[in-house]
Amino acid sequence: QAPGSDDSILVIGLGRFGAATAEALTKIGREVMAVEKNAELVQAWSTKLTHVVEADATNLDALRQVGAADFTTAVVGIGTSIEASVLATANLVDLGIDQVWAKAISVSHGKILRRIGAEHVLYPESEAGARVARLVSSRMLDYIEFDDGHFAVVKMRPPKEIQGFTLAESKIRATYGVTVVGVKSPGRDFTYADPETRINSNDMLIVAGHVELLGRFSSRP
């Protein structure tokens, strides 16, 4: 498959974030073309990724020459240099790439990226920090928040007070304001939760609800 064809993705900058993104994309079977200005990094990654080219993404002509305009999705992993991140992002937008995901290192950086046309802004460090804070301080084992930040789905162990009872008996929704979507007992298949589902201490729950209520529910002993 040629770079720039339908489902291939352009990754700019093979720092820690860009490289991890490119590697994960490759693992899930997506074609990746990476653009990096540092020759040593290009060399190091050329055996692990399908297409790695040495070019300066702040230079519009250089991006044109490597065929960047053929992509519909690009990820800008440049962070430390805000100037380079902004110029590279602006270039990708100017080349008509529809889905530009750009990494920001601060809120103002993110604002600029949005303003110059990045469709998605990522804050990997502050997002990872917020996530770790939730995971270490509660029963949550995994956490997915929706865009508006009000609603989430979590994977968690059941609080003591609901262990041994059915969902109907512990009146989960009325008492805690959260909805148990599914339950997985060790060695058994995942099942969708219904009022008769009995929760055991070693079960894993998938729970949906407002972030604040989930926070309270998952912090119970």
Shortest CB 45 distance to ligand ADP, Å: 10
List the structure tokens of 4.
Answer: 């720039």
Sole binder of ligand ADP in the list 27, 29, 39, 80 (CB under 6 A): 80
Cβ(121)–Cβ(149) below 8 Å: no
- 46 DSSP 8-state letter: T
| Distance in Å from the first CA to the final CA of the chain | 53
Question: Is residue 35 close enough to count as binding ligand ADP by CB under 6 A?
Answer: yes
Sole binder of ligand ADP in the list 5, 43, 81, 202 (CB under 6 A): 81
* All residues at 6 or more sequence positions from 35 whose CB lies less than 8 Å from its CB, including other chains: 10, 11, 12, 13, 53, 55, 57, 63, 66, 68
Round to whole Å and give the CA distance between 50 and 43: 12
| Piece of the chain touching ligand ADP by CB under 6 A; list 30-38, 45-53, 128-136, 154-162 | 30-38
Cβ(195)–Cβ(166) below 8 Å: yes
How many chain residues touch ligand ADP (CB under 6 A)?
A: 22
Question: Is residue 64 close enough to count as binding ligand ADP by CB under 6 A?
Answer: no
Label residues 92-128 b or e (16+ Cβ within 10 Å = b): bbebebeebbbbbbeeebbebbeebebeebbbbeeee
Question: Is residue 14 close enough to count as binding ligand ADP by CB under 6 A?
Answer: yes
Q: DSSP string spanning 122-155?
A: E-HHHHHHHHHHHHHTSSEEEEEE-TTSSEEEEE
Sole binder of ligand ADP in the list 34, 73, 77, 134 (CB under 6 A): 77
Question: Is residue 88 close enough to count as binding ligand ADP by CB under 6 A?
Answer: yes
Question: Is residue 5 close enough to count as binding ligand ADP by CB under 6 A?
Answer: no
Question: Is residue 104 close enough to count as binding ligand ADP by CB under 6 A?
Answer: no
Shortest CB 63 distance to ligand ADP, Å: 9
Map residues 37-56 to x or -, x wherever contact with ligand ADP holds by CB under 6 A.
xx--x--------------x
Shortest CB 8 distance to ligand ADP, Å: 18
Give the interface with ligand ADP as residue ranges (CB under 6 A). 12-18, 35-38, 41, 56-58, 77-81, 84, 88
